[in-house]
Structure 1
């Protein structure tokens, strides 16, 4: 499994959030104005997650809080 943070918020606010949470993962900024990513993957707020399997099917999606991120990162 590979985890990539995808953020549709303006780069500055997203970068601040990632830094505050101590997330040390690859981060992709996808401006919602110019890209349908958020709609296609059901990421309608930040933070959200979407689990895509090897066959490119969405297996889970939802919203995350900072405690969830810390717990998941501790498993790595």
Structure 2
């Protein structure tokens, strides 16, 4: 079993490792201020499809949250 001290030391070591790696990578990225964002037109069918899939997933999540546990035991 991992003791609480080992768990904390592992988490701190991982945090330091990721923190050092992230700061080094951020320095290496060159900043190009002359380049601007360009608008990309998406087809209407793609927009509608993504919207419908998103609404379907939201509806499925609401159904699962509200109705799937209706038959559970009451305390």
- Determine which structure has more spread, i.e. the larger CA radius of gyration: 2
Range class of TM-score, shorter chain: under 0.3
Q: Which has the higher strand share?
A: 1
Q: Which has the higher helix share?
A: 2
User: What TM-score, normalized by structure 2, do the two folds share?
Assistant: 0.19
User: What TM-score, normalized by structure 1, do the two folds share?
Assistant: 0.19
